[in-house]
Amino acid sequence: MKFILDSSYFFGNYNLSGEFFTTPEVVDELKDAVSKMRYEVLVSNGLCVTEPSPEALSKTTEAALKSGDARVLSDTDISVIALAVSLEGTVVSDDFAVQNVCRHLKQPFQSIVQKRAKKKVWKKICSGCGREIPENEDVCSVCGSEPLKRKTERR
C-alpha cells in the first residue's frame, strides 16, 4: 500500500508498513530535531519525496474550493492530497480539512491519532448581514462587513 505522509506523521512514532511518499513542502515544515530524525530514518528505509502532477494539483484545488476547505488548507496540505491523487495512495493525516477534501475526492485517507472527520461542505457567511458569500470574496458585497464566518451546509 502507498501512504502519502502529512507533516503530522513525522511528529510522533507511528507504525505503518508499505511504501511511503511525501512532498518537498512537508519536508520544509519539519523544524524540530525529533521530526527531522524521524524523516531521516524513513528516507533511509525508502521514503520518496516527490511532487504531484499539475493535473492532480488542479483537481485537488477544485475539490477544496467546492468543499469550502480552500481557505483553511495550506499549500502543503494541497500538495499532500494531490500527491495521493497522482499516486493513487492513502493520505495519512489528522487534519480534518485534509480528510474532508479526501472524502470529496473519494481519495482514501487514514487518521493517525484523531477520529476520522465526517464529510462536510463549508460556506462563507457574512458576520454582518448573514448572507452567503462567494468563496473568492473576503468582504461582503452587500454590507461591506468582514471577517466572514465558515459554516457547514445543512443536509
What confidence tens digit (pLDDT) does each residue in 74-114 have? 999 999 999 999 999 999 998 989 999 999 999 999 988 66
Q: What does the alpha-carbon distance between residue 32 and residue 92 come to, in Å, rounded to a whole number?
A: 20
pTM: 0.74
The three cell numbers of residue 57 are 494539483
Query: For 20-71, what is each residue's pLDDT tens digit?
Result: 999 999 999 999 999 999 999 999 999 999 999 999 999 999 999 988 888 8
Q: What does the alpha-carbon distance between residue 16 and residue 97 come to, in Å, rounded to a whole number?
A: 22
DSSP letter at 74 equals -
